[in-house]
């Protein structure tokens, strides 16, 4: 039996934070399913980290793992119309995100994307940075109110912080009232998601029971009901406004001129609420873990923030110059991509990597393995933020680092998330020190987002001015 987590090499060799031990060869189907339920990352075989394309026939369908930058450009950009969002994704999200922007395809997706896109113009996002920084400051104050050196659940703290950011910036604060309930239901929905995905891979009939099925259904119902309640509250206070809710409520389908139905509105509001906080929270959580293991980088960030901002709070005008902070945030997303696996389904026969692939081929885009690929990165498991200095970054292929995806379905919130990540990381590190207990080696656990198994306990103390 192999250990699930490979831990640090000798510290003198640099920081090699926890990763998973891949199987030497692709797993047979039954073993694949068992491991997938435990942690989908344990099903990515070692050759996927070495080769550009690995094709398997598992007896039920052809599965292609794509990691070569050129082939990724084909799948996600050049032939994006042929590589559809997969029905597996649709099935697992049908009770929560329905047919919103993340899961829809074709004309329905285009309309929804066009409606939301103006909210994410960088020039407009700049105005939101003070709210992001303010939530980072509020979190630092909550830590400062506890004794120096006390242990905190950093994953829960970062989830709450990023949830407050999305609520205040996109929902006019309308989600705050139900924060606890929404976070608990989201957590329940994600915790048991691997069973749902495994059921979809095995094409189990809908009526069949499997662990977590009812929990996930109930969590989905709760989330939709709370979102519908938010919508009602908004209608009572007026639907106009330049925020996300205002835009969606006033949008019209270009073909039919119909407004979004209540169900479509809930699909989208829930998508933005979920996608807009959980991923950034995980990126920040892993960033703070790495910083606790490499404290010299905390000092570099604190010094950079002091040099760029003086005593002022981090604002939009500072972000470009916070280069070290951004490099650490990116390196954390390389080692621990918040969305570690993506997938597509081939809609028609297509040549891929010199091979003819039949329609129905299931495409796995293992972002986790792409970010640690032996041919793309030097010493890939080592924490080294200098990979993301401007000079070094220019040498990367466009699809070698892609925490936000690539092509037309790229994360709509990418700029928002980068601003938020840098503003919050810079803020909490200038205010506090984060310390590792010397023991916790959290396994990166894929549950749609990349969670630290066993949570993320770290000691927090105020940083002396």
Per CB under 6 A, residues contacting ligand HEM are 101-102, 113, 271-272, 275-276, 279-280, 283, 338-339, 342, 403-405, 409, 411-413, 416-417
Our CB check for ligand HEM shows the closer of 16 and 171 to be 171
Q: What is the dihedral of CA 380, 383, 387, 388, to 10 degrees?
A: 130
Report the run of H or E that residue 188 belongs to, with start and end.
Answer: helix 179-191
Nearest distance from C-beta of residue 131 to ligand HEM, angstroms: 13
The strand order across the sheet containing 53-57 reads 53-57, 62-66, 362-365, 342-346, 83-85
Biggest CA-to-CA distance, the chain: 64
Helices (H) and strands (E) in the chain, counts: 19, 14
Dihedral sign computed on CA atoms, order 275, 345, 28, 47 = negative
Using an 8 Å Cβ cutoff, are 322 and 314 in contact? Answer: yes
Our CB check for ligand HEM shows the closer of 427 and 433 to be 427
372: DSSP letter: T
E-state strands within 211-285 = none
Q: What's phi and psi for 256, nearest 5 deg?
A: -105, -10
Nearest distance from C-beta of residue 412 to ligand HEM, angstroms: 5
Query: Any idea how long the chain is?
Result: 465
Q: What is the dihedral of CA 17, 424, 156, 41, to 10 degrees?
A: -40
Closest CA to 89 of 263, 229, 271: 271
Our CB check for ligand HEM shows the closer of 27 and 111 to be 111
Our CB check for ligand HEM shows the closer of 4 and 429 to be 429
Nearest distance from C-beta of residue 404 to ligand HEM, angstroms: 5
Dihedral sign computed on CA atoms, order 365, 367, 372, 375 = positive
Our CB check for ligand HEM shows the closer of 170 and 219 to be 170
Nearest distance from C-beta of residue 271 to ligand HEM, angstroms: 5
Our CB check for ligand HEM shows the closer of 85 and 433 to be 85
Our CB check for ligand HEM shows the closer of 267 and 433 to be 267
Nearest distance from C-beta of residue 403 to ligand HEM, angstroms: 4
Who contacts 255 (Cβ-Cβ below 8 Å, separation ≥6)? Answer: 107, 111
Nearest distance from C-beta of residue 461 to ligand HEM, angstroms: 27
Nearest distance from C-beta of residue 181 to ligand HEM, angstroms: 20
Measured N-to-C along each axis, helices 323-335 and 295-309 cross at an angle, to the nearest 10 degrees, of: 140
346: DSSP letter: E
Nearest distance from C-beta of residue 398 to ligand HEM, angstroms: 14
Distance, CA of 222 to CA of 261 (rounded, Å): 19
Nearest distance from C-beta of residue 322 to ligand HEM, angstroms: 16
Nearest distance from C-beta of residue 444 to ligand HEM, angstroms: 14
What is the number of alpha carbons within 13 Å of residue 25 lying toward its C-beta? 3
Our CB check for ligand HEM shows the closer of 69 and 413 to be 413
Helix (H, G, I), strand (E, B) or coil at 6: strand
Nearest distance from C-beta of residue 410 to ligand HEM, angstroms: 6
Our CB check for ligand HEM shows the closer of 167 and 433 to be 167
Q: What is the dihedral of CA 153, 159, 161, 165, to 10 degrees?
A: 180
Our CB check for ligand HEM shows the closer of 115 and 433 to be 115
Distance, CA of 336 to CA of 17 (rounded, Å): 10
Our CB check for ligand HEM shows the closer of 211 and 408 to be 408
Distance, CA of 211 to CA of 215 (rounded, Å): 8
Quickly tell me which residue has 């095995």 as its tokens.
Answer: 202
Residue nearest to ligand HEM (CB): 413
């Amino acid at each position: 039996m192999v250990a699930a987590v490979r831990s640090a090499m000798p510290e003198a060799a640099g920081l090699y934070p926890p990763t998973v031990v891949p199987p030497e060869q692709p797993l047979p189907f039954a073993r694949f399913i068992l491991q997938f339920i435990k942690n989908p990352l344990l099903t990515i075989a070692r050759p996927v980290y070495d080769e550009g394309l690995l094709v398997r026939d598992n007896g039920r369908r052809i599965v292609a793992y794509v990691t070569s930058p050129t082939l990724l450009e084909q799948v996600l950009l050049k032939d994006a119309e042929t590589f559809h969002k997969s029905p597996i994704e649709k099935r697992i999200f049908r009770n929560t995100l329905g047919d919103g922007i993340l899961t829809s395809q074709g004309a329905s997706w285009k309309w929804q994307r066009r409606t939301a896109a103006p909210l994410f113009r960088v020039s407009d996002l700049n105005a939101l940075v003070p709210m992001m920084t303010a939530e980072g400051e509020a979190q630092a104050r909550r830590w400062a109110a506890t004794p120096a050196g006390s242990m905190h659940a950093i994953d829960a703290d970062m989830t709450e912080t990023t949830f407050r950011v999305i609520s205040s910036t996109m929902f006019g604060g309308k989600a705050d009232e139900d924060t606890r309930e929404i976070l608990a239901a989201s957590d329940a929905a994600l915790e048991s998601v691997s069973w749902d995905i495994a059921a979809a891979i095995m094409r189990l009939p809908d009526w069949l029971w499997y662990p977590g099925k009812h929990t996930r259904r109930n969590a989905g119902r709760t989330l939709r009901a709370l979102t519908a309640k938010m919508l009602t509250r908004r209608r009572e206070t007026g639907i106009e406004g330049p925020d996300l809710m205002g835009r969606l409520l006033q949008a019209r389908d270009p073909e039919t001129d119909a407004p979004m139905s209540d169900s479509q509105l809930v699909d989208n509001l829930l998508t933005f609420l979920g996608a807009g906080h959980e991923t950034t929270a995980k990126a920040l959580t892993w960033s703070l873990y790495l910083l606790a293991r490499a404290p010299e980088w905390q000092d570099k960030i604190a010094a950079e923030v002091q040099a760029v901002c003086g005593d002022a709070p981090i604002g939009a005008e500072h972000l470009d110059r916070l280069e070290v902070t951004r490099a650490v945030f990116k390196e954390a997303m390389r080692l621990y991509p918040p969305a570690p696996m993506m997938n597509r389904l081939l809609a028609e026969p297509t040549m891929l990597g010199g091979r003819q692939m039949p329609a129905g081929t299931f495409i796995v885009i293992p972002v986790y393995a792409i970010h640690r690929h032996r041919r793309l990165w030097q010493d890939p498991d080592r924490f080294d933020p200098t990979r993301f200095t401007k000079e070094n970054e220019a040498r990367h292929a466009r699809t070698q680092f892609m925490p936000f995806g690539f092509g037309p379905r790229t994360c709509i919130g990418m700029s928002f998330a980068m601003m938020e990540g840098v503003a919050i990381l810079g803020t909490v590190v200038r205010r506090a020190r984060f310390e590792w207990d010397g023991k916790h080696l959290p396994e990166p656990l894929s549950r749609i987002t990349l969670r630290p198994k066993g949570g993320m306990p770290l000691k927090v103390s105020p940083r002396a001015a």
